[in-house]
Amino acid sequence: MFPFASGTDSAKLAAIDMLTANVMIADAKLNIIYMNGAVRELLQEAESELKQELPRFDMRTLLGSNIDIFHKNPSHQRKMLAGLTKQHRATIHVGNRTFDLIVNPIKRGSTITGFVVEWANAQERIENTDFRKQLQAISRAQAVIEFTPTGDIMLANENFLKTAGYTLAEIKGKNHRMFLAQGQEGDAEYASLWAELNANRPVIGDIVRQGKNGQAIYLNASYNPITDESGKVVKVVKFATDVSGRVHAVRTIGSSLAKLADGDLSFRLDEAFSKDFETLRQNLNDAVSRLGETLSVVSRTAELIDGGSREISGSAQDLSKRTEQQAAALEETAAALDQITVNVRNASARTDEAREASETADKSAAHSGKIVSEAVGAMARIEQSSQQISNIIGVIDEIAFQTNLLALNAGVEAARAGEAGKGFAVVAQEVRELAQRSAQAAKEIKELIRNSTDEVNNGVKLVSETGEALKTIQENIIAVNEHMQSIASSAREQSTGLSEVNTAVNQMDQMTQQNAAMVEETTAASASLAQEAEQLRHLISGFVLPQAKQRPVQPATTRPPVQRPATNHAASHQAPAQPRAPASAPRRPAASATVGNTALKTDDWEEF
């Protein structure tokens, strides 16, 4: 069965059985004819995983089985083994397992009589390779140095040598203390460093060391103890990253931020930083420049606002005074209009009364005219009666004349009659005297009638004139009545208009009062704006701007805000709205702290 025939070969197999190497032997037909204990143990451990990928795998029947059970495509392996003339190495993956295989052909002369396969768990090799690659990658990126447990230098990579400025020959065999700055050797933390490392406790942190030329080197480092199988520390490996550029950048930026917190905007960071911080430097410069430009503009604007607010405040004060004067004038106007309205209403009432009196006078004049007309008629009738009486008196006068004449004749005849006519002569004389008296009376009556007629004519004329005058008066009264009606209508319209004007004036007065209140608010707001502009200028004066190394001159103190005048308005007017309280001046922001998380602390660097 075995391709070994002699006793010597059996002895060799016995020797192989004692090896820790995992050995498997197959014959020329690729049947497994031998497995030592080590390979049995290896495959037994991996049996469950091998069965998932190789369903025919079974440790109980593995010896005597063909190696084809390990391959999904056996023809490929058979072809390769058939032409195998020298050692062949391969790595196979079965499930989560990886194995390294070393295949050697067994020959008798030129004939292959079998194959010896050495199995090895590749996981450890892969892990070691991975660790080695990781260390190589770390060595390319970081400074690496190895020490004995007492701190003597064993080895250092190029990154460390370049960072410190030494060659390996200059530092190998020397103690770690050579990298300490003056004063660090007696430091308690440095003394505890090696105690921690020898106790197999790694130490990690930011440290500062000294290079060959005496310059400070800032490192982010980790000291890692390496132990043997018994757990004893046999060496210390230090992995470090040079962060001097970062520290320089952080300290410079911290100093710049302290200046910025103090209001100094005149600085610029001209020295280039490391690549990681160069953008930050440029951004900080840009930010400071823009902030300086902005504050310069704000400063100029604040000055303009301050001047403008002062002008506005002064104008508002003048406007407030004029508004108050206007309000007072409107109050007086409103009061005068109220009085005028009352007077116009009274005049309208008197006009109505006068119109009514005029209408009464018109009626009286018409009635008087009628009476005058009747009086004129009566006078005419009196004149006619007087004329008739005059005619009658004329007749009486003629009768008296005839009677007198007859009496005269009777006297003559009585005289002729003598004694016989003596008595008749007396009678005739009496008649004659009576006739004379009648004639005289008739004459007097006629004179009286003539005088009466003249007076009646005069009266008729006067009554006619009175009638004409009354007619004219009536016409004038009618005209006056019409005018009085127009005046009354106009007075009513004027009264209504004055009421509307009075209402409008009162509204104007209210609006003026409100405007006065708004002007007072504007005055207070402009004064507040002036104070805020002053405060803004005061705040900006705390900055050192790029164009001027000196701080801006402190502006003069602004005048206090105008107090609201205590004007008492009439109760009939609407009370003006109370002005807003002026906005309080903004508080000056506290200067940025130069300490805290943003400030770089020297004691953050552990001294080892």
At 513-523, the pLDDT tens digits run: 888 788 788 88
For residues 405 and 461, the answer to whether their CB atoms sit within 8 Å is no
Q: Is 55 exposed, middle or buried (0-12, 13-18, 19+ CB in 10 A)?
A: exposed
What pLDDT is stored for residue 201 in this prediction? 94
What pLDDT is stored for residue 145 in this prediction? 93
What pLDDT is stored for residue 582 in this prediction? 44
pLDDT at 318 over 90: no
Tokens representing 556 are 């003069």
Q: What is the rounded CA–CA span in Å between residue 180 and residue 42?
A: 52
pLDDT digits 0-9 by tens, 205-242: 998 898 988 888 999 999 999 999 899 999 999 999 88
What pLDDT is stored for residue 487 in this prediction? 79
The 10 Å Cβ neighbour count of residue 145 is: 25
Q: What is the rounded CA–CA span in Å between residue 97 and residue 42?
A: 11
The mean per-residue pLDDT over the stretch 556-577 comes to: 47
For residues 146 and 236, the answer to whether their CB atoms sit within 8 Å is yes
Per-residue pLDDT band for 573 (boundaries 50, 70, 90) equals: very low
In the chain, CATH 1.10.287.950 sits at 307-540
pLDDT at 55 over 80: yes
The mean per-residue pLDDT over the stretch 67-78 comes to: 85
Nearest to 253 by CA among 293, 283, 294, 217: 283
Query: Which CATH fold would you assign to the domain 142-261?
Result: Beta-Lactamase (3.30.450)
In sequence order, which residues have a C-beta less than 8 Å from that of residue 16 and are 6 or more positions away? 23, 34, 36
Per-residue pLDDT band for 552 (boundaries 50, 70, 90) equals: low
- In degrees rounded to 5, what are phi and psi of residue 54? -120, 90
In the chain, CATH 3.30.450.20 sits at 7-122, 142-261
Q: Is 288 exposed, middle or buried (0-12, 13-18, 19+ CB in 10 A)?
A: buried
Q: Cα dist. 566→317, 516, 574, 578 in Å? A: 14, 12, 15, 12
Q: What is the rounded CA–CA span in Å between residue 410 and residue 396?
A: 20
Tokens representing 298 are 């704000």
Task: Please name the amino acid found at residue 180.
Answer: L
The mean per-residue pLDDT over the stretch 491-510 comes to: 81
The mean per-residue pLDDT over the stretch 100-114 comes to: 90
- DSSP assignment of 480-527 equals HHHHHHHHHHHHHHHHHHHHHHHHHHHHHHHHHHHHHHHHHHHHHHHH
The mean per-residue pLDDT over the stretch 335-361 comes to: 80
CATH superfamily assigned to domain 7-122: PAS domain (3.30.450.20)
pLDDT digits 0-9 by tens, 291-311: 888 888 888 887 888 788 778
Q: What is the rounded CA–CA span in Å between residue 27 and residue 3?
A: 7
Q: What is the rounded CA–CA span in Å between residue 442 and residue 461?
A: 27
Q: What angle do CA 11, 12, 16 make, to 5 degrees?
A: 120
Q: Find residue 374's DSSP bridge partners.
A: none
Cα atoms found within 13 Å of the Cα of residue 403, Cβ hemisphere only? 20
What pLDDT is stored for residue 382 in this prediction? 78
Query: Which CATH fold would you assign to the domain 307-540?
Result: Helix Hairpins (1.10.287)
Give the position of tokens 């005209």: 479
